[in-house]
Amino acid sequence: MARSLRRRSIIRNRRGYSALIATIIMVLVVMFLFYNVYMFMMNRDTDLQNIISRSQQLDADRNAEILTILNPATSGGSGFPIVVTCTLVNSGSVPIQVVRLWLKDLNSVSNLPAVTISLMSQNVVLQPGASAPRSFQVSMPGAFSSDTFALSLVSSRGNSLTRRING
């Protein structure tokens, strides 16, 4: 009988339930917040790994570019545009797009500034193993085709190749 009275008094005493329910809700809220922070950090780590792998692939592609300039020659000059003719050879394993040409007259008498032209409109793209004869017109007043020139070609990945002409 005393036991049954004690059981009824525990059931009727509801003061301890609110603390228990509040503790359970607080634990659920903390777990929810922890899960969200954990998933956010996992997403950021995945993004970082993707960026690192893309960067490494770009570096590998840049290192795989091997461009060769064969038989460079100039013609024209003395009031006419300098015409640079050469054969471009892609010896690498990735396609190469040449986007810029720099031409510097190395003649010590003239001291002409370097001239740059964009090759984006000419679409100079070489597939792996391909070679193509190309000619480029460069307006350089005061230069002669017999002068010594430094020809630099820049690829879309930032590689640069310099070759002397007539020197």
- pLDDT by residue, tens only, the chain of 167 residues: 556 666 666 566 666 678 888 999 999 999 999 999 999 999 999 999 999 999 999 999 999 999 999 999 988 867 678 899 999 999 999 999 999 999 998 886 667 788 888 988 888 999 999 999 999 988 888 788 888 899 999 999 999 999 998 86
List the structure tokens of 44. 């950021």
pTM of the model: 0.70
User: Which residues make beta-bridge pairs with 69?
Assistant: 88
pLDDT of 18 = 81
Q: Using only the alpha carbons of the chain, give its radius of gyration.
A: 36
Q: What per-residue string of b and e applies to 14-35 under the rule 16 or more CB within 10 Å gives b?
A: eeeeeeeeeeeeeeeeeeeeee
**Main-chain phi, psi angles of 44, to 5 degrees:** -65, -40
How far apart CA 127 and CA 139 sit, in angstroms, is 29
Residue 15 is predicted with a pLDDT of 65
CA distance linking residue 104 with residue 151, whole number of Å: 7
Cα–Cα distance for residue pair 34/29, rounded to 1 Å: 9
**Token duo for residue 109:** 């008498």
154 vs 67: CA distance, rounded Å: 10
pLDDT of 111 reads: 74
Residues 6+ apart with CB under 8 A from 115: 102, 103, 104, 138, 139, 140
